């Protein structure tokens, strides 16, 4: 059976149920700053982006100027909530352990936050020394730019065309597809919404799973299909 060179996991909303936690904090800050938005709306529209990028897009859309200090405030509050509240997504530990080819994490979060979350949910040993933060790549470009995916593939000697990426956000799917990689969408986190799977498919995911138990068979099936 053909095997992928590499399997890349996004972190927020894929390994850990953190997107909804961050969305609640960030929506409250934006609302207090003059742009009323719910956590659900923020997660649906902006999941996968850094808060800086979210703020810039909201500024452009609303013409409301935000204080730059809001970024640091959001980082501080989100980190605090994640330390106390973040949980692994059901079944993820078994799914990651079942991936026997090289695996890594590619995320828009800072590496310190990724490590904090993965250590808290006991997933860090699966990805030791294979955590890539988009902000810490040579270009510093975050998803939907493909840079973090290409950087990881280069470091781990993987061909992009033979790499699978598991992503929960449209922006992440766009980045992985731009990198020439194959994408499996994931909708099993707390921020998932009606139409989520369709949105990921439209963005370029080859298939979408909701339960981690499906991952092993889906990768095997897609690998066979690619070999045909």
Give residue-wise pLDDT tens across range 30-52: 999 999 999 999 988 998 889 99
User: Position of tokens 């290409």?
Assistant: 150
Rounded CA separation 140/96 (Å):
27
Task: Give 220: exposed, middle or buried? Use CB within 10 Å, 0-12, 13-18, 19+.
Answer: middle
What is the residue-averaged pLDDT of the chain? 94
What integer pLDDT is reported at residue 2 of this predicted model? 80
Q: What share of the chain has pLDDT > 70, as a percent?
A: 98
Lowest mean pLDDT among 50-54, 119-123, 162-166, 209-213: 50-54
Tell me if residue 165 falls in helix, strand or coil.
strand
Confidence of residue 228 (pLDDT cuts 50, 70, 90): very low
Contact present, 31 and 37 (Cβ < 8 Å): yes
């Amino acid at each position: 059976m053909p095997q992928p060179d590499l399997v890349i996991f996004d972190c927020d909303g894929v390994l850990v149920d953190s997107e909804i936690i961050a969305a609640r904090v960030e929506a409250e800050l934006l609302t207090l700053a003059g742009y009323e938005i719910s956590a659900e709306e923020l997660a649906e529209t902006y999941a996968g982006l850094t808060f800086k990028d979210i703020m810039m897009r909201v500024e452009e859309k609303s013409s409301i100027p935000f204080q730059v200090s809001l970024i640091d405030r959001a980082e501080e509050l989100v980190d605090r909530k994640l330390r106390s509240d973040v949980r692994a997504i059901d079944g993820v530990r078994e799914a990651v352990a079942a991936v026997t080819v090289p695996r890594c994490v590619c995320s828009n979060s800072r590496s310190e936050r990724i490590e904090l979350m993965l250590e808290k949910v006991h997933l860090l040993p699966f990805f030791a020394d294979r955590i890539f933060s988009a902000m810490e790549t040579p270009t510093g470009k975050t998803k939907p730019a493909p840079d973090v995916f290409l950087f990881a593939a280069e470091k781990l000697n993987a061909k992009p065309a033979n790499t699978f990426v598991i992503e929960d956000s449209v922006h992440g799917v766009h980045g992985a597809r731009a990198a020439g990689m194959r994408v499996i969408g994931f909708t099993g986190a707390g921020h998932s919404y009606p139409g989520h799977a369709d949105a990921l498919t439209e963005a370029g995911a080859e298939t979408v799973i909701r339960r981690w138990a499906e991952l092993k068979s889906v990768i095997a099936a897609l690998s066979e299909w690619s070999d045909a």
